[in-house]
């Protein structure tokens, strides 16, 4: 793969050039141009959707086994191209190379896991008695638009693509303009493995997204991104009464109970909060710690954060990378500025590897905020950056109430040495997922827990059989053995 990429639209297996292209710069070295990405129009969206609609007529009849076989070939392709794609993602989207190597593995895993979920999902459901028999059949919806954010571009694209295609639908994908290159390079090769029109890729921003959400032949929008954008999608989808599935923002609370071993758990919480420089929807975003352990807990988190070496994602010495884009960078900087004006204590930690390049990228320090007010903006908003506010609490009830006090409800974690107590507290948390004594899902959890959030963190779920059910309709057929 060459250093500078030109990415066109992909419709019906053909590359389609557009009148204008967006220049993509390296978030860790803004003077470097990584490539140019096509900007599509409403007419291009129509062309892509019609291609997908045409392909749907035959793709829906393809056996599930064949769909799975092709998805497994896609997984093999990502495996073989993994290193090159990870490097490209690092250049265009800014996180550490090791992070994208991990994401390549996640993308492969989700493709494989989806083919396993499909086995149980499609097991036939037929019942009969003396008078009749009933067949409950699962039918695809048609053309699905998959709108993807920049923060986990390859994994989220493959998660959507696998579920949408294995259930017999066709897809029009709109990657984020902030992470379109690596994904598109892979998608072009994967699309060539499938019949023409099954996979189409369109690029652009709001105009293109809106054209997808309003197009009458698109049956469902599978959207991952911010809540504000989701509101536009929902309004646009209303005219044609489209289904929507939303994976939105999070502000995951971690509650450390007073029987937890603070020395053991705080470094784990810090690791979860600062991975991907905090740019992950299910990252721990606020911690509630018993008042009596507060200073010690903060000391441990600060010590953890201070070990980071902040540098370019391709620098082997770097353990902490810049954030992805200017909007995100400005937002976090201004949020921290407002936080400094309050009674909270803001500590910027870690070491700058290339101080001379600091202003040439979206670099931020891993930051710990001590003594914020529980209702303060830095605690209640989704800052989506490398910041961890730590809030002291007096009672368990208070911690639960504060944890539930936002409009978010994606992930969460409870830390305790008492399993029954932890479970009781976990059941009070308003979230789609709660981990006990861990910040992330275990391998077993990844296989069995449908991914998604409650309240304004989402509508519907991804992954597992529950996630596949998002992309089908039921068709009940009742055969009467004798006409009366
Ligand atoms: P975003 O909402 O700005 O953009 C998401 C996608 O929507 C992009 O492809 C964008 O181009 C597109 N878009 C923009 N305007 C549109 C419109 N009017 N109609 C249709 N599409 C439009 O989000 P982002 O900044 O790319 O990603 C960060 C957000 O995504 C965070 O809030 C994060 O929590 C969330 N996220 C959620 C999950 C999850 O699974 N819950 C996973 C990853 C990211």
Residue-wise pLDDT for 399-458, tens only, equals 999 999 999 999 999 999 999 999 999 999 999 999 999 999 999 999 999 999 999 999
How far apart (Å, rounded) are the C-alpha atoms in residues 72 and 78?
10
Residue among 338, 350, 407 at smallest CA distance from 376: 338
Alpha helices per DSSP H over 97-249? 97-121, 153-166, 181-191, 206-214, 227-238
Q: Is the minimum distance from the CB of 233 to ligand 1 under 6 angstroms? A: yes
Q: Is the minimum distance from the CB of 283 to ligand 1 under 6 angstroms? A: no
Torsion angle in degrees (nearest 10) through CA of 304, 309, 311, 316:
-110
Q: Which residue has the tokens 């029987």?
A: 259
pLDDT for the residue numbered 1: 46
Q: Is the minimum distance from the CB of 388 to ligand 1 under 6 angstroms? A: no
Q: Is the minimum distance from the CB of 174 to ligand 1 under 6 angstroms? A: yes
How far apart (Å, rounded) are the C-alpha atoms in residues 62 and 435?
39
The tens digit of pLDDT for each residue in 151-210 reads: 999 999 999 999 999 999 999 999 999 999 999 999 999 999 999 999 999 999 999 999
Distance 328 CA to ligand 1 centre (A): 12
CB 247 within 8 A of CB 458: yes
Do β-strands 143-147 and 218-224 pair in parallel, antiparallel, or remain unpaired?
Answer: parallel
Q: Which residue has the tokens 């090791």?
A: 98
- The residue whose CA is least distant from atom 18 of ligand 1 is 206
21: number of Cβ within 10 Å: 16
Distance 252 CA to ligand 1 centre (A): 18
How far apart (Å, rounded) are the C-alpha atoms in residues 442 and 33?
38
pLDDT for the residue numbered 61: 98
CB 382 within 8 A of CB 320: no
pLDDT for the residue numbered 482: 84
Check if 462 is active-site.
yes
How far apart (Å, rounded) are the C-alpha atoms in residues 114 and 119?
9
Please list the ranges in the chain whose pLDDT falls under 70: 1-3, 484
Instruction: Pick the catalytic residue from 382, 396, 462, 470.
Output: 462
**SS3 state at 320:** strand
How far apart (Å, rounded) are the C-alpha atoms in residues 112 and 104?
13
Q: Is the minimum distance from the CB of 331 to ligand 1 under 6 angstroms? A: no
Q: Which residue has the tokens 């391709």?
A: 314
| The pTM of the whole model exceeds 0.85 | yes
Please, which contacts does 73-76 make with residues 24 or more away whose CB atoms are closer than 8 Å?
73/193, 74/111, 74/158, 74/161, 74/190, 74/193, 75/107, 75/108, 75/111, 75/112
**Helix H or strand E encompassing 477:** strand 472-480
pLDDT for the residue numbered 2: 47
**Helix H or strand E encompassing 274:** helix 262-274
Q: Which of 148, 149, 450 maximizes ligand 1 atoms within 8 Å of its Cβ, making it the mutation to test the pocket?
A: 149
| Terminal alpha carbon distance of the chain | 69
Distance 326 CA to ligand 1 centre (A): 15
pLDDT for the residue numbered 187: 98
Distance 389 CA to ligand 1 centre (A): 24
Using CA atoms, how far residue 435 sits from 11, 293, 301, 393, in Å, is: 41, 22, 19, 20
pLDDT for the residue numbered 419: 97
CA diameter of the chain: 86
pLDDT for the residue numbered 316: 97
**SS3 state at 27:** coil
Distance 226 CA to ligand 1 centre (A): 4
pLDDT for the residue numbered 484: 60
Instruction: Pick the catalytic residue from 91, 103, 138, 160.
Output: 160
Q: Is the minimum distance from the CB of 35 to ligand 1 under 6 angstroms? A: no
The tens digit of pLDDT for each residue in 456-466 reads: 999 999 999 99
Q: Is the minimum distance from the CB of 252 to ligand 1 under 6 angstroms? A: no
For the chain, how big is the Rg over CA atoms in Å?
23
How far apart (Å, rounded) are the C-alpha atoms in residues 454 and 431?
6
Residue among 102, 114, 104, 105 at smallest CA distance from 71: 114
Q: Which residue has the tokens 């709001």?
A: 206
pLDDT for the residue numbered 4: 82
């Amino acid at each position: 793969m060459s250093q500078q990429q030109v990415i066109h639209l992909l419709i019906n297996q053909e590359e389609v050039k557009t009148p204008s292209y967006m220049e993509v710069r390296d978030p860790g070295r803004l003077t470097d141009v990584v490539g140019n990405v096509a900007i599509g129009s409403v007419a291009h969206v129509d062309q892509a959707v019609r291609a997908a609609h045409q392909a749907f007529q035959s793709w829906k009849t393809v056996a599930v086994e064949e769909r799975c076989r092709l998805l497994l070939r896609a997984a093999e392709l990502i495996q073989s191209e993994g290193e090159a794609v990870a490097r490209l993602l690092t250049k265009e989207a800014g996180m550490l190379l090791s992070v994208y190597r991990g994401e390549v593995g996640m993308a492969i895993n989700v493709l494989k896991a989806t083919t396993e979920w499909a086995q149980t999902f499609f097991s036939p459901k037929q019942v009969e008695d003396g008078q009749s028999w009933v067949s409950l059949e699962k039918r695809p919806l048609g053309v699905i638009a998959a709108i993807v954010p920049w923060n986990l571009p390859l994994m989220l694209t493959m998660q959507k693509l696998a579920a949408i295609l294995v259930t017999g639908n066709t897809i029009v994908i709109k990657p984020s303009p902030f992470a379109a290159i690596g994904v598109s390079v892979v998608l072009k090769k994967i699309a060539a493995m499938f019949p023409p029109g099954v996979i189409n890729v369109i690029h652009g921003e709001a105009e293109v997204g809106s054209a997808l959400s309003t197009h009458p032949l698109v049956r469902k929008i599978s959207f991952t991104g911010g809540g504000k954008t989701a509101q536009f999608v929902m309004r646009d989808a209303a005219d044609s009464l489209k289904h929507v599935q939303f994976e939105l923002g999070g502000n995951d609370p971690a509650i450390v109970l007073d029987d937890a071993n603070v020395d053991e758990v705080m470094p784990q919480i810090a690791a979860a909060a600062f991975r991907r420089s905090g740019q992950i929807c299910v990252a721990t975003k606020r911690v509630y710690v018993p008042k009596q352990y507060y200073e010690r807990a903060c000391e441990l988190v600060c010590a953890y954060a201070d070990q980071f070496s902040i540098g370019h994602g391709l620098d082997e010495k770097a353990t902490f990378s810049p954030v992805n884009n200017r909007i995100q960078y400005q937002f976090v900087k201004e949020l921290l500025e407002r936080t400094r004006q309050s009674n909270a204590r803001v500590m910027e930690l870690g070491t700058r590897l290339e101080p001379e390049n600091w202003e040439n990228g979206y670099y931020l320090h891993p930051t710990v905020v001590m003594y914020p007010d529980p209702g303060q903006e830095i605690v209640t908003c989704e800052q989506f950056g490398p910041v961890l506010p730590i809030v002291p609490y007096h009672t368990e009830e208070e911690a639960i109430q504060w944890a539930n006090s936002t409009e978010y409800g994606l992930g969460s974690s409870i830390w305790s040495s008492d399993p029954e107590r932890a479970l009781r507290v976990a059941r009070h948390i308003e979230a789609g997922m709660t981990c006990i004594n861990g910040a992330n899902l275990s391998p077993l959890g990844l296989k069995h827990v449908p991914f998604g959030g409650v309240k304004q963190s989402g509508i519907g779920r991804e992954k597992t059989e529950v996630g596949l059910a998002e992309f089908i309709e039921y068709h009940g057929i009742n055969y009467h053995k004798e006409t009366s």
